[in-house]
Amino acid sequence: MILLRVLVQRVSESFVEVDSKIVGKIGKGMLLFVSFSSDDFGMEEKISWMAEKILKLRIFSDKEGKMNLSIMDILGEILVISQFTLYGNVKGQNRPSFVEALNPEIANEYYDRFVFALKKSGLKVESGIFGAKMKVFIENDGPVTLILEK
**Residue 52 pLDDT:** 98
84 is catalytic: yes
**Residue 85 known to be catalytic:** yes
Those residues of the chain that have pLDDT short of 50 are none
DSSP string spanning 72-130?
HHHT-EEEEEE-GGGG-B-TT-SS-B-TTSPPHHHHHHHHHHHHHHHHTTSS-EEE--T
Give the active site residue among 85, 98, 137, 145. Answer: 85
Backbone phi, psi, residue 14, to 5°:
-160, 150
pLDDT for the residue 41: 75
Asked about 145 being catalytic, the answer comes back as no
Pick the catalytic residue from 15, 36, 60, 84.
84
Q: Which domains does the chain have, with CATH numbers?
A: 4-149 (3.50.80.10)
- Residue 28 has a pLDDT of 98
Give yes or no for a contact between 26 and 72, defined as CB atoms under 8 angstroms apart: no
103-135 pLDDT tens trace: 999 999 999 999 999 999 999 999 999 999 999
What does the pLDDT read at residue 1? 63
Set 33, 60, 83, 130: catalytic member? 83
